[in-house]
C-alpha cells in the first residue's frame, strides 16, 4: 500500500513540474501585388514590362516570439496564368528539389501579435531568367497568385490568393 502511495505521490509531483509542451507557431500570411516603389498601394493590373512585386504581410498569432526566415526560398509562390500553372525557373526548381530548406536571406523576428512585411519580386522565381541583362516581363494574361511561407520546422503557412492581370494597357479599378 505504501508503494502505491509513493508512486501516486511521485506521479503528482512530476506531473505538476513537467515542462510546458512546445506550441506550434501560428502565423497569418496575406499577400498583395504592387508596382515598383509603391509598396503602400496594391495593384491588380500591370502593363507588359512592369515588374510585379509581392508584399507579404505576416502576423504572429501565437503567444511566443517567432523567427521567420526571409527570402524566396522560404516564400514559395504558386502562380497560374490563364488557368495554367507557371513553372519556376529551372535553377530554382532544381535547388528546391535538392535542398528543400533553401537559403536564408535573414530572419524577421515577430513578437506575439506583431505584424511585419517582406517584399519579393516574382521575376526571382519564374522563367525566363534574363534577356539582355534585363528581366523579361510576365506574358499578357490573367494571373492567380498564392504563397506558402515556410518556417524551419516544417511549418508552412498558406496565404490568401490574389488575382492580377498583365496587359498592354492598364486602368486600375
CA distance 24 to 62: 8
Between residues 173 and 24, which one has the greater pLDDT? 24
Mean pLDDT lowest for which of 34-43, 86-95, 158-167? 86-95
CA distance 102 to 69: 10
Residue 42 has pLDDT above 90, yes or no: no
Q: Is the pLDDT of residue 150 over 90?
A: no
Q: Which range has highest mean pLDDT (6-15, 46-55, 147-156)?
A: 46-55
Q: What is the pLDDT of residue 82?
A: 94
Q: Is residue 65 within 8 Å of residue 168, measured between CB atoms? A: no
**Which of the pair, 77 or 103, is modelled with greater confidence?**
77
CB atoms within 10 A of CB 57: 15
Cβ pair 147, 73 in contact under 8 A? no
Q: What angle do CA 83, 98, 103 make, to 5 degrees?
A: 90
Q: Please give the pLDDT value at position 124.
A: 67
Peptide bond before 128: cis, by omega within 30 degrees of 0? yes
Res 104: pLDDT:
66
| pLDDT mean over 8-14 | 39
Percent of the chain at pLDDT > 90 equals 25
Average pLDDT over residues 11-30: 56
Per-residue pLDDT at 134: 38
Using DSSP's 3-state secondary structure scheme, residue 64 falls into: coil
Which domains are delineated in the chain? 26-167 (2.60.40.2970)
Distances (CA, A) of 114 to 15, 67, 110: 33, 12, 6
Instruction: Give the pLDDT confidence score for residue 172 in this predicted structure.
Output: 55
Name the pTM for this structure. Answer: 0.73
Q: Summarize the confidence of residues 103-121 as an average pLDDT.
A: 86
What pLDDT is attached to residue 19? 34
Amino acid at each position: 500500500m505504501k508503494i502505491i502511495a509513493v508512486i501516486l505521490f511521485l506521479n503528482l509531483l512530476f506531473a505538476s513540474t513537467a515542462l510546458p509542451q512546445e506550441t506550434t507557431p501560428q502565423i497569418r500570411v496575406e499577400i498583395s501585388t504592387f508596382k515598383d516603389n509603391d509598396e503602400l498601394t496594391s495593384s491588380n493590373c500591370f502593363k507588359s514590362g512592369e515588374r510585379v512585386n509581392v508584399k507579404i504581410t505576416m502576423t504572429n498569432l501565437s503567444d511566443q516570439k517567432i523567427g521567420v526566415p526571409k527570402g524566396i526560398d522560404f516564400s514559395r509562390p504558386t502562380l497560374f496564368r490563364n488557368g495554367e500553372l507557371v513553372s519556376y525557373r529551372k535553377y530554382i526548381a532544381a535547388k528546391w528539389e535538392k535542398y528543400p530548406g533553401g537559403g536564408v536571406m535573414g530572419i524577421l523576428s515577430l513578437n506575439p501579435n506583431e505584424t511585419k512585411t517582406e517584399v519579393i519580386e516574382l521575376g526571382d522565381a519564374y522563367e525566363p531568367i534574363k534577356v539582355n541583362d534585363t528581366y523579361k516581363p510576365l506574358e499578357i494574361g490573367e494571373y492567380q497568385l498564392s504563397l506558402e511561407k515556410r518556417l524551419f520546422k516544417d511549418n508552412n503557412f498558406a496565404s490568401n490568393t490574389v488575382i492580377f492581370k498583365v496587359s498592354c494597357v492598364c486602368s486600375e479599378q
